[in-house]
């Protein structure tokens, strides 16, 4: 019973790590970035290359996956994304879904279509027994990383100067520019961080979710559910949403397996009927 709760929390945390980057780009920047999963996949494949091919330790490859993916995100932001910021959501959707298909084909071509397995170190494998509850070591790592991330993100958005600049740039780019904020730079950095988080999520998630070229399509629905249920104006929203969905999904599959796959959608529908803006969200004033 407690093991199920633990697994649910870990799964929810994993969803959060993968989806919080989207909460940053979609939620804070108001940009419909369906290519989020492609960056997560990039992080996963970077980890495979670093760990399996170059023999780097797994834990060291996690920050590198973040940095490399952030770099890719930065380049794409400056060259491609910057042209679609002001376009309609539909155009953004078409543009980013196109990127997804291109990434799927490119990864298929370069890395092959088979499943990739990251070789994680032996101290992260297996379970430890705490008071009779079986706890997976790898899942414990996910929870730790996720906890740190949440605190860091929430702090930097609400308490730092950069956070206020970002919020200003999002709310009214023209006025922000007038106040001397370099809006382009703020957006570029934010986007890079968002994609970097996706990369980190992909790197951590590959072990549990599996990794193959259709990863971005397979898990797009999960990222979107987390962000929709959580609301887009804060980091706490998606965090709570991830936990609720993760625990609900795992417990549902354990106790009522015949409906297992649908639990996550039922939770989504109930939450959205109750709070159409998501769990934690201010009403959009537009």
Q: Nearest Cα to 84, choosing from 38, 33, 21, 22?
A: 33
List the interface residues with other proteins, window 76-105 (CB under 8 A): 105
Q: How far is Cα 208 from Cα 195, in angstroms, rounded to an integer?
A: 20
DSSP per-residue letters across 161-209: HHHHHHHHHHH-HHHHHHTT--HHHHHHHHHHHHHHHHHHHHHHHHHHH
Site for other proteins contains 117 (CB under 8 A): yes
| DSSP code at position 265 | H
- Which of 108, 140, 156, 184 binds other proteins (CB under 8 A)? It is 108
* Residue 245 main-chain phi, psi, to 5 deg: -65, -45
Site for other proteins contains 133 (CB under 8 A): no
Site for other proteins contains 2 (CB under 8 A): no
CB closer to other proteins, 237 vs 252: 252
What is the nearest approach in angstroms of other proteins to the Cβ of residue 6?
9
Site for other proteins contains 187 (CB under 8 A): no
Site for other proteins contains 136 (CB under 8 A): yes
CB closer to other proteins, 89 vs 134: 134
At 130 the three-state DSSP class reads strand
Site for other proteins contains 140 (CB under 8 A): no
| DSSP code at position 211 | B
Site for other proteins contains 11 (CB under 8 A): yes
CB closer to other proteins, 124 vs 168: 124
What is the nearest approach in angstroms of other proteins to the Cβ of residue 132?
13
Q: How far is Cα 112 from Cα 49, in angstroms, rounded to an integer?
A: 13
| DSSP code at position 129 | E
Site for other proteins contains 19 (CB under 8 A): no
List the interface residues with other proteins, window 256-285 (CB under 8 A): 257-258, 260-261
């Amino acid at each position: 019973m407690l093991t199920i709760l633990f697994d649910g929390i870990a799964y929810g945390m994993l969803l959060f790590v993968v989806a919080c980057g989207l909460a940053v780009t979609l939620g804070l920047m108001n940009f419909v970035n369906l290519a989020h999963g492609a960056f997560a996949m990039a992080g996963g494949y970077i980890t495979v290359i670093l760990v399996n091919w170059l023999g780097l330790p797994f834990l060291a490859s996690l920050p590198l996956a973040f940095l490399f993916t952030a770099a890719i995100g930065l380049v794409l932001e400056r060259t491609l994304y910057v042209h679609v910021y002001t376009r309609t959501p539909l155009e953004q959707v078409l543009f980013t879904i196109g990127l997804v298909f291109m990434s799927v084909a490119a990864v298929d071509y370069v890395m092959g279509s088979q499943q990739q397995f990251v070789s994680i170190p032996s101290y992260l494998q297996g379970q430890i027994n705490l008071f009779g509850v079986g706890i997976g070591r790898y899942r414990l790592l996910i929870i730790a990383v996720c906890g740190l991330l949440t605190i860091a993100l929430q702090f930097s958005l609400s308490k730092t100067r950069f956070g206020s600049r970002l919020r200003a740039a999002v709310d009214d780019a023209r006025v922000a520019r007038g106040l001397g904020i370099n809006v382009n730079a703020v957006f570029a950095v934010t986007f890079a961080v968002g994609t970097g988080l996706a990369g980190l999520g992909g790197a951590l998630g590959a072990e549990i979710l599996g990794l193959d070229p259709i990863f971005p399509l397979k898990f797009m629905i999960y990222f979107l559910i987390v962000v929709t249920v959580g609301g887009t104006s804060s980091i706490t929203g998606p965090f709570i949403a991830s936990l609720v969905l993760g625990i609900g999904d795992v417990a549902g599959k354990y106790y009522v397996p015949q409906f297992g796959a649908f639990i996550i959608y039922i939770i989504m529908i109930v939450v959205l009927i109750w709070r159409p803006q998501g769990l934690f969200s201010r009403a959009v004033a537009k």
